[in-house]
Chains A and B, each alone.
Chain A
Amino acid sequence: GAVVSQHPSRVICKSGTSVKIECRSLDFQATTMFWYRQFPKQSLMLMATSNEGSKATYEQGVEKDKFLINHASLTLSTLTVTSAHPEDSSFYICSASPLRNQETQYFGPGTRLLVL
């Protein structure tokens, strides 16, 4: 149980294009989903917290117009990187907190984004 999927797993795009990443909780409903960014050999950096049906809460320094988050249902959240630039290249990971245990998070496998 507690499986989270992400799609795509890898994406390469040209500078200036937008990229959408999907995060799904497959076998549980999630009150909250989180989006992280991780640079090589570094820990996770929380970008934003999203609750189903409401606006995402962004961490300080994260541009909300750059990283659009939509939490359409209790099992799906999407992150859209708009007008991507090479500096947006990174490993993006989502996580989800189950309704039954909101104090923990289950992570997706991550999406590696490379912007050329």
Chain B
Amino acid sequence: QKEVEQDPGPLSVPEGAIVSLNCTYSNSAFQYFMWYRQYSRKGPELLMYTYSSGNKEDGRFTAQVDKSSKYISLFIRDSQPSDSATYLCAMSDGSSNTGKLIFGQGTTLQVKP
């Protein structure tokens, strides 16, 4: 079993839809959670960074962390064709001092106009 599981999709939605992207994980020591967006042939871009449980909102994006269920989500409201990309969740426990992140496989999202 992988430490972080993420459905690779692809996920196709119409423009304006609410998108829900999710990851589950097995390591209860994870405390830092991130979502990255990666366009084709580009490096990943940090979208959201969350420490421990709770919600964080930034514009059309909301990140949720439920540590009791080992489940994190990224919601995109009013999705746009420009949101079409691969979304990677990443997490770390912060205790190893290596700074290494554990990534999900990435979910490919397509927003159709």
Contacts and interface: CB of A to CB of B under 8 A. Distances in A.
A43 B94 contact: no
A114 interface: no
Contact of B99 (A2, A32, A93, A110): A32
Interface stretch (A14-22, A72-80, A101-109): A101-109
Interface of A is mostly: strand
Contact of A104 (B41, B43, B46, B104): B46
A13 interface: no
Question: Which bracket fits the contact residues of A?
Answer: 20 to 34
Contact of A107 (B43, B98, B104, B106): B43
A89 to B, nearest CB: 14
A114 B14 CA distance: 36
Interface residues of B, number: 23
Interface string A84-96: 0000000101010
A6 B32 CA distance: 26
B99 A44 contact: no
A105 B41 contact: no
A46 B101 CA distance: 9
A91 B86 CA distance: 15
Interface string A14-48: 00000000000000000110100000001110100
A7 interface: no
A103 B100 contact: no
B48 to A, nearest CB: 10
Nearest to B6: A43
B25 to A, nearest CB: 14
A83 interface: no
29 contacts: A2-B46, A6-B43, A31-B99, A32-B98, A34-B99, A34-B100, A43-B88, A44-B44, A46-B100, A49-B99, A57-B98, A95-B43, A97-B99, A102-B99, A103-B32, A103-B51, A103-B94, A104-B46, A104-B49, A105-B99, A105-B101, A106-B46, A107-B43, A107-B44, A107-B46, A108-B43, A110-B41, A110-B42, A112-B41
Given A104-B101, A110-B42, 18 more contacts: A4-B43, A32-B98, A43-B103, A44-B88, A49-B98, A49-B99, A91-B41, A97-B99, A103-B92, A104-B32, A104-B49, A105-B46, A105-B101, A107-B36, A107-B45, A109-B42, A109-B43, A110-B43
